[in-house]
Structure 1
Amino acid sequence: MTAPQALAFMAMAGVAAYVQTLTGFAFGLILMAAVALSEILPLRDAAVVTGVLTLVNASIMLAKGWTEVLKRQFVLVLLGSLPSLVIGYLLLEHLADNGLVVLRILLGAIIIVSSLQLIMPPQREERQAGDRSFVAFGVFSGLMSGLFSTSGPPLVYHFYRQPFPLVAIRETLVAIFGVNALIRLGVVFADGRFPDRQYWAAFLAIVPVMAGTQLARRLPPPISPRLLKLIVFVLLCASGASLALPAIPAALRMAGY
């Protein structure tokens, strides 16, 4: 990784942290989309770095709000997400070695579908969902965390439908993201797949992530939250399409069409 590439990655991470703090999610989506398009890092290594940065971001955000975490829902989600996280990680390893084209299509599709939450927020229900639903959404979340270190979209959709205080929802989600990132990092170490030294400069992005988080709190942009979400939605959709569409012809040729 060259110095310009490291600086570019740091800038991407800082912007992603800024947007994450303002919108409540999208850190992993933005960073993975930017990496996949720029090809600064292999997707496998980018997922590791994203996980570490997610853990840092979660630690900062939970420094004062950890007491608001919904403990029962937190445990239920982790019961579903931790086993599926390992499955998602193994799937990433397989696709990274044998199906990079499929991986780009999958990431592009996930980015586009997930970004819809920014302009179509879930409607809040009057009654809390059952325990099984939290476990089920945890399974989907863990799968996405294992694949791309982006465990947010399924949980954001489910939690924001519940009649919980918004502060409690936000802190619970951040706590889950942090634990998923920590477990995924443990799986990476156990598998001996930590990024090569040539990519270690990417971890310097911890500094802009911290700065982006604090900047969003103290200096939000002079636009409405709705307009900000619309802008992020358009950018994510364009990124997802740019990843998936060029890879589709190659995938069809691989399938014999």
Structure 2
Amino acid sequence: MTYEKVLVLIALIGAASYFQTVTGFGLGMIVMGATSGFGLAPIASIATLLSLVTFANSATALPGKLHHIDWRAVGAATLGVLPSVVAGVLLLEYLSASASGMLQLLLGAVVLYGGLSAALRPAPLAQRSGDRSFFVSGVCGGLLSGMFGVSGPPLIFQFYRQPLTLIEIRCALILIFTVTSATRVLFSVWQGQLGPAIWIEAALAAPVVMLATLAARHYPPPLSCMATRRFAFGVLMAIGAALVLCSLRALFR
């Protein structure tokens, strides 16, 4: 990448880090979407870079807040995420291009419908869901991550529908995505994909990520709990619509 593209990418990562600290998600989805849209860098290298800078985000966002985490929920979701990521990668290799496109269309429609229905009824559930429900959301998130690089929607929907405080939701999601990033980094190391350029870019981006995360911790936007839930579900709708449009474009080429 040119120096100009590196600066744009780092600024984008900083803005997405602020967003993720406020909502618990968004770093990967925002940067990956903008990167593919503007052609800043190869998607594979950006995914690896994001996995590295996620550590800077969580290391700044989570200290002093670990007691807010529902460890049973996070553990159940993580148990579902880790093996299903591998399953998603293998499934993508097995399916034909048309079958993969149809599956992406179906998943996008489900995410769009889920976000829309939740946005119309943003009030949380009366009782916390069982651990099995968190495990299933982790499995679905892992499959999405392995096949399409988007692990967030099922987990976001699951946690934002629970009778949890926003800080509990944010911390849980940040921790789960950090575990997922650690898995990706170990896989990249095993494949020998972490070259010097990635480490340099991560070193440049890490201070920006930490400053943006600190800003979000101390100066969050003045949104109510209900407004934040509606905003999260609105983002889910946007993700679902993007998946549908991308799949339709690929199918009708």
TM-score grouping bracket, smaller chain normalisation:
0.7 to 0.9
CA contact (8 A) 1:137 1:155 kept: yes
Cα distance in structure 1, aligned partners of 2:246 and 2:42: 18
Cα distance in structure 2, aligned partners of 1:136 and 1:17: 27
Point out where structure 2 has 5 or more consecutive residues left out of the alignment.
96-100
Point out where structure 1 has 5 or more consecutive residues left out of the alignment.
96-100
CA contact (8 A) 1:141 1:151 kept: yes
Q: 1:115 to 1:209 in 2, by over 3 A?
A: farther
Q: 1:165 to 1:86 in 2, by over 3 A?
A: same
Q: 1:132 to 1:220 in 2, by over 3 A?
A: closer
1:75 maps onto 2:72 in alignment = no
CA drift of 1:192 comes to 3.0
* TM-score calculated relative to the size of structure 1: 0.75
- 1:178-212 per-position Cα deviation (integer Å, ceiling 9, x unaligned): 11111121122223333673785355222221111
* TM-score calculated relative to the size of structure 2: 0.76
Residue number in structure 1 paired with 2:22 = 22
How many residues of Structure 1 are paired with residues of Structure 2 in the alignment? Answer: 252
CA drift of 1:34 comes to 0.8
Counterpart of 1:57 in structure 2: which amino acid? Answer: N
Residue number in structure 2 paired with 1:41 = 41
Tell me how large the CA RMSD over aligned residues is. Answer: 4.1
CA drift of 1:155 comes to 1.4
CA drift of 1:165 comes to 3.9
CA drift of 1:82 comes to 0.5
Q: 1:140 to 1:243 in 2, by over 3 A?
A: closer
CA drift of 1:64 comes to 1.2
1:154 maps onto 2:131 in alignment = no
What fraction of aligned residue pairs are identical, expressed as a percent? 37
CA contact (8 A) 2:29 2:150 kept: yes
- 1:33-77 per-position Cα deviation (integer Å, ceiling 9, x unaligned): 111111111112211112222232122111111122212112211
CA drift of 1:139 comes to 0.5
**Which moved further from structure 2: 237-246 or 147-156?**
237-246
Counterpart of 1:79 in structure 2: which amino acid? Answer: L
Q: How does 1:54-203 map to 2 (within 5 A)?
A: 54-90=54-90, 119=119, 122-147=122-147, 150-194=150-194, 197=197, 200-201=200-201
